[in-house]
Amino acid sequence: MPSTAEYPLPKKARLSAPPAPPIHSTQELTTAQLYALSTRKHRDAARLAVHRARTERDRADLTHVQAQRWLQEANDNLTKMEDELREAQNEYLEARSLTARLMAGTAMTLEESEEENDVEENGSERPKSGRVGQKYKRAPLITDLLVEMARSGELVGGKKLHEANVDINERDRTKFVNAMVLVEELWTEEEELFLRSPPQEIAESIEELKIITAAIGERCLVKLNEWEGRDDPTPTPHQKPSIVSVGIRARKAFLDREMKKEVSEGVNGAEERKEEVDVEKEEIQVGEEV
């Protein structure tokens, strides 16, 4: 039996990888160096690309944060402007209410002054500004002018009321125009058709003509009282539908309506701008989620 000395036991195999085969030529060495250099260049280029991508990402994050801050500032400014606009509108409404009360008192005083100072319909003489003997007539009433226009046929062809040929002092022309514009806003279609009837038909319906014109005159006074904010719009005994008082009050009401329209347009513009800001904010949020 052979001994262990003659047949030694095999050594355990090493766990490490076998060594690379030796390079036996200069050509193989040069090829390996070139491959390693190329690999290193690709690695450096990849690292540079990753660095640039991270820089762009950080810059985009910073831009996004700035955009959010600007959007928040714009939204805050818009809210502040809306609050200021709301305060201005409240102040305007308060001033309008005060002006309406003052104008109502002025109109009442004017009407009382007309009743006291103007002469009766048959005319009389009183001195004014150093002139004696000149006749002064009471300011014509809207009802009387409408009766005159209808009986003369001035309105048959669809002519505007303020274009009718009536005897009006030049200094009262603007008041007359405003009063007639108010009448055209308030008369009904049936009343307009009746007043534009031929003179022959008007002559046969004088009583109806007086009733219709009186209703129009009272409607003008009621509407003016409502616009001026009176608790009871019923005309007072001192209120008469004269072209002077109605024209002055109608002009003031028209101006108030225009101012209120401008304020309303300003509020609507601010609301539209707020909606645009909200849409932009939603778009940015959607971009973040994407």
- Per-residue confidence (pLDDT) for residue 279, from 0 to 100: 63
Output Rg (C-alpha) for the chain, integer angstroms: 47
Q: Per-residue pLDDT tens for 149-191?
A: 999 988 888 888 888 888 888 888 889 999 999 999 999 999 9
Residue 190: CB atoms within 10 Å: 9
Give the predicted TM-score (pTM) of the model. Answer: 0.49
Whether 201 has a pLDDT exceeding 80, the answer reads yes
Closest C-alpha to 251, from 169, 177, 160:
177
Q: How far is CA 149 from CA 93, 243, 244, 245, in A?
A: 38, 14, 18, 20
- Per-residue confidence (pLDDT) for residue 44, from 0 to 100: 85
Length of the chain: 290
The structure tokens listed for 259 are 């101012």
**Left if phi > 0, otherwise alpha if psi is -120 to 50, otherwise beta: which for 244?**
alpha
Determine contact, residues 74/277, Cβ cutoff 8 Å. Answer: yes
Determine contact, residues 166/145, Cβ cutoff 8 Å. Answer: yes
Closest C-alpha to 290, from 52, 64, 58:
64
- Per-residue confidence (pLDDT) for residue 108, from 0 to 100: 59
SS3 242: strand
Determine contact, residues 286/69, Cβ cutoff 8 Å. Answer: no
Determine contact, residues 155/195, Cβ cutoff 8 Å. Answer: yes
pLDDT, average across residues 249-256 = 88
Whether 278 has a pLDDT exceeding 80, the answer reads no
Rounded Cα distance, 101 and 230, in Å: 8
Higher-pLDDT residue of 202 and 138 is 202
Which sign does the torsion angle of CA 218, 251, 178, 260 carry?
A: negative
The residue behind tokens 């090493």 is: 14
- Per-residue confidence (pLDDT) for residue 223, from 0 to 100: 93
**How much is the mean pLDDT over the chain?**
77
What's the helix, strand, coil split of the chain in %, to 5? 70, 5, 25
Whether 13 has a pLDDT exceeding 90, the answer reads no
Q: Per-residue pLDDT tens for 21-59?
A: 555 556 666 777 778 878 888 888 888 888 888 888 888
Q: Per-residue pLDDT tens for 235-248?
A: 888 888 998 989 99
